[in-house]
Amino acid sequence: MTLYRATDAADMVPMLIAAYCQRVGMVADTLESYLQASQQHDGAAGPTDAERSHLAGLLGEEAPKAAGERGLSRIRYRRGQHWAENAQELEEDPQKLFTKACLHGLKARLCDDVDALDSYLPPHVAEMARKVAGVLEMPQTAPA
């Protein structure tokens, strides 16, 4: 059931964030680059060797045999290692903070618990997440 819900979220969340970005006036080319449509693949086949390699890198495990070969699996393994190392550092990248705020704002709105944002987020992220939750709160009516 967790994978079922995660798949639903993976399909829905990027488009909600994209809709918000359009609403606040993000340049179309920038939004298109963030969506990375050219890098998407069908999930019906399950995880690929490259994705299993990426996970091993994230978890600090040895590279799977496929990652020892040149190619995408090796790149993804090293990327996983890099992300795991960077996760230990403070996250001040504005794009990452914005994404984090969007996800927390969406969760707070869905759970109807916007006030809880202040209890577990840094103040600047909580403020952005409140704005996202606020936009999701009001139903938008079409102009007459």
Question: What does the pLDDT look like over 49-72, one tens digit per residue?
Answer: 888 888 888 888 888 776 555 688
Domain limits for position 79: 48-89
Residues 102 and 78 in one domain: no
| Assigned domain for 69 exists | yes
- Supply the pLDDT for residue 51: 81
Residues 80 and 110 in one domain: no
- Supply the pLDDT for residue 84: 84
Residues 100 and 81 in one domain: no
CA 85 to chain centre: 18
| Assigned domain for 38 exists | no
Residues 100 and 132 in one domain: yes
Total structural domains within the chain: 2
Instruction: Find out whether 103 and 130 touch, Cβ atoms under 8 Å.
Output: no
Q: In whole angstroms, give the CA distance from residue 86 to residue 83.
A: 5
